[in-house]
Each structure stands twice: as structure tokens, then as C-alpha cells.
Structure 1
Amino acid sequence: MRRAQAGLEAAGASLVGRSALGIGCGPIGLLVVAVLRRAGVRSITAVDLVPRALELARVVGATQTIQAGTGQAQATIADVQADVTFESSGSHIGLASAIAGTARGAALVMSGLLPPGPQPVPISAAIAKELDLLCSFRFNDENGGGLRAAEGAGPCPECGGSVATADPYPANCAQRGAVPSPGVFVRIEDREDDFEGLVHTSKQLRELRADPRDAATS
């Protein structure tokens, strides 16, 4: 979520009324679409190989979807010529499609992590189009914007859950007279002892230090 918001901020200028292209509709790609919709982007084209991923992209805000690897998909992507493009697939083929589908002089934000080593990417095409190649991987304080965007996307179409922007941890600590520790909540499930629930990472860390076998058992 924070990487999606950081990518939007890396793009720089206001995107209100502009067009965007999103390559890859995994967790980061879908959050990018949600963040773009909240930012007032006029047209959002989402690309993925998997039909279900494209359905979810429409749910969270995509106005057009393209199934990669079929028919004239590459030509259709190249016709988009978006004002800003987000590459979230983490593949060299996805990055090549992103370069082709970005308008001359526009920004291409790379948030997908490519494999290590040399990659066969048509950088000469990016140079010829004078694209601004931006990278978004690390993040700092963008979580608030990402949460607000996810909240605005409504209930999850897969599980029906929704995102709450209020963090229950500080209030819970106050009730117990405890001092909040930095960290996040993670969901624990599918345990052999049938434990399910949200556990704060600071609790996990303490228990792992004491005995790795006892982490998050209560």
C-alpha cells in the first residue's frame, strides 16, 4: 500500500483529469489503481494476464482493462499513450509494454521489482520518447494516503472486508497502561493450534526472542 502511494508521489505533478496506465494487477498494482482513482485520474487502463485480476482492477477503479498475451494486446497497450504509467508486474515484458504505452515526455514509475541481473528491456525506446523513468521501492510516511485510498475503494471483492483508517493499537495500549511499540499488525491463520487473529509485530518479536516456537500463540 505504501509503495503504491509512494509511486504516486514519485510521479510528481497533479494527475487530476489525466490518463494513467497500470501494468500488472497484483496487490501493488491494484492499490496503484485505487490510489490513482482517488487522485482524480480521468482514465485508468489496467493490464494483466489473468482475467480475475482485471475484474478486481475494475472494481477498485480501472476504466479500461487489457488482457496481456492475447490477440492484439501489445498494439492496444501501445495505443494508450498514457500521461503517467505504473509498472507493477516486475517483469521485463511488462516494463517493455509500459514504455510502449507511455506518451512522449511522460513519467513511467517502476514499482515492480525485476529479477536480479541484466534485463532485456528496450531502453532505447524510452530514451527516444524522452520518458522520465522513476523508481518507487522504499517508502516512509505515505501510509496515510494509501490507507485513505484503500478505504475509498470500498469492501474487498474477494473477502468482503474493508480497511479502517483508525489504528486500534494506541487506544488498546492506553487501556492496558502499556507503551505503544513501533510495528504493524499481521494476520495469523492456518495454524496447527487453530489460532487466528491479528498480532502486533512487536509481540511476535518479543516471543521469537524468547522462544521461536511460541511466537504469536496467544
Structure 2
Amino acid sequence: MKLILTLCITWALLLTGESLQCLTCTDATCTNPPVTCPSNSSVCQSSTIQSSIVKDPSVSKSCVEASNCMTPLNVTTTQLSVNLGFANFRQTQLCCDQDSCNNQTLPVPSSNGRKCSSCISVLDKVCNTPVDCVGVEDNCIHVNVTGAINTVLKGCASSSLCNVSVITSFLPPVLSSVLSSDVISALGFNVSCNTAPSTGPVNSTAPSTGQGTNTAPSTGPVSVVLMAMWLPMMVKLTF
């Protein structure tokens, strides 16, 4: 009986020793000791988010499932970033698979010297207000919006957003600060991009690369992850 008990305790200790340990906190200093992650969380994550809704950067460090990572393991990058003038969102994210590897607090992206034309509101038909691009926002994005409202969205964006399937999942959470969910669910998007210039005239149009039209879903592969992080920070307004 003692032998069986000893073996069980030894086995439990071995399993605990193999479990990943990550820092978990929601502040930049993060003085909490590492915690042992549950079996379904195989990755440590450090994330810094800034948006037009929450001006101060929001820091989060935790154990997560690998499916919650939008970046390759052990690579720091701003995967999704957009500035439409009246609304912006950017995230710097690190996912890693070593104990306490998420100890660093990631910085908010700074200006990269590029500029694009943007809109002062969701119903701005002119959209010729210059806006500074930051971080990996290396494209001027042009989005035609149809459906419940017909309008144009312009601004800076990371190249990862120059795809209709991605933008239709990404924009609903961003627009939820100024439009109701009923309006957003009835929208369609057509997107195009061109490289944002670092000098010279501000781009206000974009070529036809990456174009397509699709009805924006209320959830999707990208938006499920993003909305879980953003919606607690957003204040809904009715259009």
C-alpha cells in the first residue's frame, strides 16, 4: 500500500514539473509570481493593447491556448493594427512556450514616419484628414462599406488587414464603439490597399489588390479572439 502511495505522489510531482509556468497579471510591473498553467494552456502570452476607446495601454500576461495566438511562437510582432482617424486599434503580442517567458511588457508602437488619409467620422464622405501611421501600419487602406449604411473608411493599416476575409472579421469590434450590433451585422466590406508613403502627398486612394466583397459576420475566426479581449474595454453606442 505504501509503495502504491509513493508511486502516485511521485507521478503527480513529475506531471507538475512538466507543466508550463507563466506570469499572470494586468499591469506593467507584474510582481505576481509565476503560476502553473492548466493542461489545456500550452502557451504563455504577453499582450499590450491600445485603442481609441482606451487611451492608456492595456497590459495582459497569462496562460493561453495556442489557438489564441495571432503571432508565431517566440516572435514579438504587431499582427493587427489600424488607424481610421475616428477609431484605431493596435496590439503587440508575444506568445512563447518556456517557463516565465512572458515576463517582458511590450511597448506601444510609435510613429513610423508614414501617413495616410483618414476619416473624421464613420459617415465622413471626404476622408482627407492626414493621419500618422504607427508600428507595422505600412499600408493605406480604403474600405467601401455597403448595406445598412453606405460610406468609406480610410486610414493606416498593417498589411495583414489588406484581405477581405480578415477585414470583415476585424472591423465589427472596432466599429462597435460607434455603431450598434444590428447595423454592423448588415454591413458588407470591399477593401484595397497601397503602400503608405513616408514622404510626399498623402495617399487617399488605393489600387485593386486584395479587393473583395463580403457581408461582415458578427463573429469569425479572427473576431472571436479579438472581441474577447476588446469588448470589455468598449462602450457601446447606438447608431
For Structure 1 versus Structure 2, the TM-score category normalised by the shorter chain is under 0.3
Structure that is richer in strand per residue: 2
Instruction: Pick 1 or 2: higher relative contact order, CA cutoff 8 A, min separation 6.
Output: 1
Structure that is richer in helix per residue: 1
Q: TM-score, normalised by structure 1?
A: 0.27
Q: TM-score, normalised by structure 2?
A: 0.25
Structure with max Cα Rg: 2
